[in-house]
Each structure stands twice: as structure tokens, then as C-alpha cells.
Structure 1
Amino acid sequence: MNDIIVIEFTTLDGVVEDPDGSGGTAHGGWAFRHGPEAVSGDKFDLGARLETGALLLGRKTWQLFSKLWPNRTDEFSARMNNATKVVASRTLTDVGAWQNSTVLSGDLADEARRLREERDVIVIGSIGIARTLMAQGLVDEYRLLVFPVVLGAGRRLFETPCDLTLVSTEQRGAAASLRYRTG
């Protein structure tokens, strides 16, 4: 069985909003205060999953990524650029700016289920998508990069209680990579 994996940068107090500062929030950019090496490369150990899986992105995340990734040529960027990308949007119709992108048709949860039958589904950022899939009980794994920052305010990934099983932890510079399974 394939997995739906949610990937997020997060603070110690669970804030996932605006890690790069592009959202213009008062505390935005908190992940990037630790230097580019803290957020660059395959910090979430996606590896070959980028070649065999599909990225499921919200419109805002896709629009941000479609400006950043296509011009990068390192090995990880090449994998990101070549990956299958499905964009959940009610307004976006042209996804030609980033290769291998298509707009999701139909209900988000139904399409995520359908995609998972074929391959792993990787949700990067895209808090709204992650929360929708969480509410439907569709997320199999969380990969979190936790930064040593406490904001006290901002959108959090987890809004309701849930039990998770720790799979692994690893230090990644100033941050900690945590992997959890559901169920």
C-alpha cells in the first residue's frame, strides 16, 4: 500500500505558517533564520519517492515553488522538477510554469485516495490540504522538520488531538527531523 505523507517545517510550538516569510506574516521567515543549509536539499529523505510518487500541492505552495524550483539544477532540484505534481486549486488553470504539473479535478479527498492507489502522495506545506486529508483520516505519515523557535501565534498543523507513533529522529543542523506514523 502506498502512503500519503505530509511534510512540514514547524516551530517547537507547532506553528507551520510562513516558514520562509513569503506570506508576509509578522513572524514569517523563522525557518530561514538558520541559514540556507537548514532548509536546502532532501531534508525529508524523499529520495526515490520523488521519482515514483506524486506531489500534492495547494495553489499558493505551487505558485511559490513554480518560481523557485525550475531554475535550480542540483540533484534534489532535478528530482523536484521531474516529479509528478498535482495542484489542488479552484482558481488556477495554467500550471505550465512548472513541468509535470496538472490541476486536480474532483474532490480533494477522493483524488488523494485515487492517487494513493497508484503511488505515494507527498503533501509539502499546503496546510489546508494537509488538514483536509487529516480530517478524512487519510494521512499515513508526518515528516516534520522542527526548528528551535517558539512563536506563540500562527497557524498550526494539528488542530485536534491525535496519537502518533515515532518512527525516527535525526538532527539536521539547528533543526530536528521527526517522522511519525498514524494509527
Structure 2
Amino acid sequence: MGKIHVHEFITLDGSYEDPSFTMPYGFADGMGEVLNSFMSSCTGILLGRNTFEMFAPAWSTRTAADDPGAPFFNDTTKYVVSSTLESAEGWQNSEVLGPYDADRIRELKQDRDLYISGSGTLVRALLRDKLIDELHLLVYPVVLGSGARLFDGLADIPLTLVDSDVFDNGVVHLSYGSAG
């Protein structure tokens, strides 16, 4: 069985909604290696509708010369969880799965590792259904006091700290696995 690897940029108070808070901190040495350590095994990207609609115009025209992550994002099959999108046009290798269905996600991860970035509503549902194998939080040293929080509405989700890293820009990487 494959794994679901989630990567989130969050603040100390758990906000993830508007990643512009990351800009003042840059992308420190080592952050790319951490992300690549689990992205490289993924053969599918799982996204919620909002994240798909933000990522598609941003990534679909990027090349490896623009960003080393462009080939992964553009060449890998993207699976969009949405009850409102009928098609995933505008970004190559994208398909709509339909509304959230835990059994459909289990089936999808049966023979592949999946990567998720952002997609907070989807991540919360997957956490509730205990479908996330690795949760990678890149925690930025800032408190926003507003915005959607990653863990809003969740309770009793035991996790086990698997690894951690501290980067020169003050960002902390916390890697969690399921405790159950």
C-alpha cells in the first residue's frame, strides 16, 4: 500500500490559508532537501479544489529553469477532490475525482504514494479518517491571529513525532506519523 505525504506551511498559531506569511523568511538551505525526501517517491498529487485553482495557473507555465519543482508538479498526475469542479482543464495530467470519499482515497493510494500541499479542508478530512501517513509541517515563527487554522474542528488525532529540523531562517520542520 502506498502512503499519503502531506506538506503544509503553517504559522505558530496554525494558520495556513494565505502562504504570503512565508515570503519574509525565504527558502532556507535544506528546505528543498526535506521536501524532496518524501516528494521523490510520490507518483500522484492529491489536491482540494481551492488549492488546485491556485496552483494550476502558477505551476502550469513554469519550467525547470524557473523552478526545480516544476517537472514534478507538471508531469505528475494530479487528482482533484471536488464536488463542484466538472473538469480539471488548464493543467496537464489533472483529473477530478469528485466529492471527498475516504474509500476512493484508500483505493487511490493502494498502489502509489500521494503528495498533498495546502488543501486544508481535504487534509482535515484525511486526518479525521486516519488516511495520512506522514504530516510534514514547516512552522514559521510568526503568529497571525487570523486565517483558517489547519487543525480547526479536529480533536483526538494522535500523532507521533518522527523527525524534526531547524533551518537558519527560523522555520522548523516537524514530521509526524500516525500514532495509531
TM over 0.5: yes
Shift of 1:97: 0.9
The amino acid of 1:9's aligned partner reads F
Residues 161 and 33 of structure 1: CA distance in aligned 2, closer, same or farther (over 3 Å): farther
Shift of 1:93: 2.1
Aligned residues: 171
What's the counterpart of residue 181 of structure 1?
Answer: 177
Q: Which runs of 5+ in 1 are unaligned?
A: 20-28
Shift of 1:106: 5.8
Report if the CA contact (8 A) 2:11-2:141 is conserved: yes
3-state secondary structure, aligned to 1:150: coil
Q: Equivalences for 1:40-119 in 2 at 5 Å? A: 41=32, 44-45=35-36, 46-50=38-42, 53-74=43-64, 75-105=68-98, 107-119=100-112
Q: Within 2, Cα distance between the matches of 1:88 and 1:173?
A: 35
Residues 45-71 of structure 1 deviation map (CA, whole Å, 9 limit, x = unaligned):
334224xx2111011101111111122
Q: Equivalences for 1:155-174 in 2 at 5 Å? A: 155-158=148-151, 159-174=154-169
The amino acid of 1:15's aligned partner reads S
Identity of aligned residues (%): 40
Two-structure CA RMSD over aligned residues (Å): 2.1
TM-score (norm 1): 0.83
What's the counterpart of residue 141 of structure 1?
Answer: 134
Shift of 1:108: 2.4
Residues 67 and 8 of structure 1: CA distance in aligned 2, closer, same or farther (over 3 Å): same
Report if the CA contact (8 A) 2:83-2:98 is conserved: no
TM-score (norm 2): 0.84
What's the counterpart of residue 9 of structure 1?
Answer: 9
Residues 75-129 of structure 1 deviation map (CA, whole Å, 9 limit, x = unaligned):
3211111111001112222312111100004642122101111111222111111
